[in-house]
Amino acid sequence: MGIEAALPVDGFMTTQLQRVINWARRSSLWPMPFATACCGIELMAVASSRYDLARFGMERMSFSPRQADLLIVAGRIAVKMMPVLQRIYEQMTEPKWVISMGACASTGGVFDTYAVVQGCDQYLPVDVYIPGCPPRPEQLLEGIMAIQRHIDQSGIPPMPPGGRRVPLGLVIEPTHRVRPQPVGITVGGA
């Protein structure tokens, strides 16, 4: 992890307690996946060997809100489902973060109907919006890293008395560029 290289020869180092706390928090985000539709497949892909979420210390997906601090909403949310999602958010541990993944979670997507919530930020404090239908796994990684950078540099914003933390409201731009297929590859041995 680079700590060994940073240690001086006599075996000790000094730092600020707040920096250690920030480092520990950003290195151990535990995601709570709330995947209701096709965006969930891209969410699953980030844990695969190709994208390897474990590189960032958060491969431990939590299916219990009490052991999670990063809610990832992936897919459309029906009106009937919203109270369940709100309860899950309320049960998560502070400090906690929310990612809205994909057009459906952020705006309702193409499902402009009375039964679908037209943006989960009407009910949850969303810190990072990830556009796309579906977003690529790289974009989700970028969104998670944006939260990590914020924790690292700014720490946890103070909680107003009796109130709620102001969400970060970051938007991730697509970073993936489609490139030509490698030449010389044939399919099915043809």
Smaller CB separation from ligand SF4, 39 or 144: 39
Residue facing ligand SF4 at closest CB distance? 104
Residues whose CB is less than 8 angstroms from the CB of residue 189 and which lie 6 or more positions away in sequence, other chains included = none
Strand order in the sheet with 97-101: 31-35, 70-74, 97-101, 128-130, 170-171
The least distance separating ligand SF4 from the CB of residue 118, rounded to whole angstroms, comes to 13
Read off φ and ψ for residue 85, nearest 5 degrees: -65, -40
Read off φ and ψ for residue 46, nearest 5 degrees: -65, -20
Helices 17-26 & 137-154 angle (0-180, nearest 10): 170
The least distance separating ligand SF4 from the CB of residue 107, rounded to whole angstroms, comes to 9
Q: Contact residues for ligand SF4 (CB under 6 A)?
A: 37-39, 75-76, 102-104, 109, 133-134
The least distance separating ligand SF4 from the CB of residue 101, rounded to whole angstroms, comes to 7
The least distance separating ligand SF4 from the CB of residue 11, rounded to whole angstroms, comes to 50
Structure tokens given for 162: 């009796």
Smaller CB separation from ligand SF4, 28 or 48: 48
The least distance separating ligand SF4 from the CB of residue 91, rounded to whole angstroms, comes to 24
Structure tokens given for 126: 């969303």
Smaller CB separation from ligand SF4, 103 or 120: 103
Kindly list the distances between the CA atom of residue 162 and the CA atoms of 52, 158, 167, in Å, as whole numbers in the listed order.
39, 12, 16
Smaller CB separation from ligand SF4, 42 or 127: 42
Structure tokens given for 155: 């720490």
Q: What one-letter code names the amino acid at 119?
A: G
Smaller CB separation from ligand SF4, 69 or 119: 119
